[in-house]
Structure formats: structure tokens, C-alpha cells
Amino acid sequence: MSRSNLLADSHGRVMRDLRVSVTDRCNFRCLYCLPETEEAANFYRVKFDALSNPSPATPITREWKPRSQILSFEEIERVVRIAVELGIQKIRVTGGEPLVRQGVETLVARLAEIGGVTDLALTTNGFLFPQKGRALRQAGLQRVSFSLDSLDPANFKKITGRDGLRSVLASIDLAQELGLHPVKVNAVVIRGLNDHEIEALAEFARQKNLSFRFIEFMPLDSGRAWQKELVVPGREILQRLQARFDLRPVRSSNVSETAKRWSFADGRGEIGIIAPVSEPFCGHCNRLRLTADGKIRTCLFSLTEPDLKPLLRGGASDESLRQRLQEIVWQKEERHHIGEPDFVQPERTMSCIGG
């Protein structure tokens, strides 16, 4: 496949990974995404007082998109098929929480049949996975990633707004039983909230033989409450884990991989650290995101979102969509600007963007 038939940007990067959001809705209210609970408000209030900062900005008025503005499964399948023709290989179904979308296993089955998709994965909070996991596996799902920010029931509820720890743990067990591999688990680490659980989460990964990812807290929350002081840098996480465990670096041939990885000496499980704030990996980014309402995001922190829906619903040909995707990707940002004076937080939260 020649470069002219690929999704390449002006910085020499070729897109291989497409994140597909199927809904902007979520059944959790995570403190780092949709901090709408009293516990979230209290946490940020205490932190801002301690930092002698002004109170967080008023949260964005969040309104779920009406169903008419959300892409149909047919529209999603069409975009994915065209993107795969242009070199996309990995597809990850995301949300919001993707499992609140009715019939999502039907979409997974349709995506699994597209020739050229080498990796079909799902990111979920796990709350509904016990009910839907088997159908998703039968539909062709290959991998799954869960969110697990705490092993303490009370802290889990404080972070997510839901009493859902038992369901998530059951989901992890079910995913392994179904042969989804590797089973990945993600934790967003926030200072003063769950950073005291770093070692316990890593030990959980070793015991369960999981691929566990520690992720730095990013400015994608609807409350505009993100502060750099709440970020636990990846190097600090690694230092603490190396003090507790015998870790061996995992070498990867994939230069676009976002996580730096280490395996446990006994060979059970591994940990990874994703540090977009303290150690940006923009130079090798090969990801695109399709939002639930049909917009393309070339970066998590994009301030513009070119809309494919007018083309999808206006009778445009596949060739027109192909050319438009290539035009959009050519304009992909060189990097994000987190922590810099000119950084502007995107208007939409992670729930609306897709993981």
C-alpha cells in the first residue's frame, strides 16, 4: 500500500489505530471525567484549599446527545471500513461507557468481519460486562480493557460514584475465563485520592496475571478541576514499584505503544506506565478517534472536531469520505500542550471523546 493510500499526517506519522466511541453516555461518574458527586466536589474543594488556588470553575453543562445525532451502527461500520482501506489495523470500541449502547455486540460482530482489522478491542468500566461478556466474545471481540482505580470498596465508590467494585472484579475473572487476551486493567492515579494504592494494584495484577496500566491524571474532566499538582508522575510511580517488586523491562517493537512496560520476575502479569503529562509520546502517535456523534479527533486534546456526519448522511461517496479522512489526518497536531501557558482544555470531557 503506497503512502498516498494511507492516513498520513504532515509530520510523517501513519495512522494505524482508530478508537470508536459508540455513546457519550456513562453509568459511572468518575472524579477525573464526570465529577458530579458530592464526594468529588469535596475532594477537589479540599485540594484547592490546600494548594491556595481559587475554586474550580463551574462544571460544563453536560447534555447527552439525542439519539438522532449519534451514528448508527451502519454509519460506524462504513467509516471503519474506509479507514481500514486506508491502513487502520486496530479498532477499539469505547464510550462513554460502550456497554450502555443497546446491541453493541451486533456492532462488534460487524466490525470483526471487516478484512484488515487485526485487533478488535473494547474499553469498559466493567459494570455491565458480566451480562454482556459472552455475547461480545462470540461476536468476535479479541481483547478488553477495564478501569479499576481502587481495590477499596469505599474509595472505589468515591472515585466512580458507583458501588461497583464487585462487578468489575467479576468482569476481570470472566474476561480471563472467556480467553480474551491480554486482559488489560487501567488505573488513573491522582495524588491524595488513590496513589496510596499503587503497590496494592500492582500486586493484584501479579496475582491475577494481568496487564495493568497506571495512567497519569489528564485535563479532560468536565469540572475543569485538573491541577498539575494532582498528577503523580510516571517516574514516581515506577520508583515506588521498583522498590517493592523485581521488575524486568519489556521491549516492544511497536514504537507507537503508549505504555512503558515491565514484567514481574516470576512471569505473572506485567505493569505499564502511561505518562502523557510528564513524558509525552506525541511524536509516535498513530491514533485517531471517531466520536459517537460522528466527529474525528486527531488528538485527545484537539480543539477542533471535523464532522463526518454531513457526508455520511448527505449521500457522499466512499471516495469523498476517503479523501476527507486523509485531509483531516494531514492536519493532525504535532503534539499537545499540557502544562504550558498556552494550553487550552478541550470543551468536551473524556466521556464525549472516547478513551
pLDDT of 324 reads 98
Q: Where along the chain do its domains lie?
A: 3-353
Distance CA 69, CA 60 (A): 20
Distance CA 113, CA 179 (A): 19
pLDDT of 52 reads 53
pLDDT of 61 reads 47
pLDDT of 42 reads 73
Q: At what angle do helices 165-177 and 153-160 cross, to 10 degrees?
A: 100
CATH 3.40.50.720 fits 3-353, yes or no: no
pLDDT of 301 reads 77
pLDDT of 195 reads 98
Other beta carbons less than 10 A from residue 89's beta carbon: 15
**Residues of the chain under the 70 pLDDT cut:** 1-3, 35, 40-41, 44-63, 220-225, 337-355
pLDDT of 96 reads 92
Contact 222, 62 (CB under 8 A): yes
User: Number of C-alpha atoms within 13 angstroms, CB side, residue 39?
Assistant: 15
